[in-house]
Amino acid sequence: MHNDVEMVEDCVFCKIIRGEIPSVKLYEDQQTYSFMDINPISFGHSLVIPKHHAENIYVTPPHASGAAMIALSKVSAAINRAIEPEGINILQANGPGAKQSVFHTHFHIIPRSVDDGLTMNWELQPGDMAEIKLAAKKIRAELEMKG
């Protein structure tokens, strides 16, 4: 277990973890914190964040993202039992193109219903297999270089 929790002074999520900004806490352990989203897009919309400050998933240390995944599973299961939605989306955004608004890695848990009108879903359309294989080749090369 890693206890090297790094926080940043002016990060809103780090301030929430330190108790400087109030939150409606759901869960906390040594490495993660979960709380209700105060701008919810559905009933039960919540967040899970690693306590270790990192701007996005690309630079989040594996121990912090792994701990967040464990908390995400626990909190999502509790939301599923408590709220009984028809489904749950897990959303994690990185960078302006993905509409990331707080630059501290975080995961949204969004309870859903079939006809809720939320527009994050997309229709399945077959892709170009040559493009899919090219993307996979480039990604595998990076994984082999970086391990």
Residue-wise pLDDT for 47-85, tens only, equals 999 999 999 999 999 999 999 999 999 999 999 999 999
What 3 state SS string does the chain have? CCCCCCCCCCCHHHHHHHCCCCCCEEEECCCEEEEECCCCCCCCCEEEEECCCCCCCCCCCHHHHHHHHHHHHHHHHHHHHHHCCCEEEEECCCCHHHCCCCCCCCEEEEEECCCCCCCCCCCCCCCCHHHHHHHHHHHHHHHHHHC
Q: Which of 52, 104, 106, 108 is catalytic?
A: 106
Q: What is the mean pLDDT of residues 2-30?
A: 88
pLDDT, position 2: 47
Domain boundaries defined on the chain: 12-122
The structural architecture, per CATH, of the domain 12-122 is: 2-Layer Sandwich (3.30)
> Annotated catalytic, 108?
no
Q: What is the mean pLDDT of residues 115-122?
A: 79
pLDDT, position 53: 97
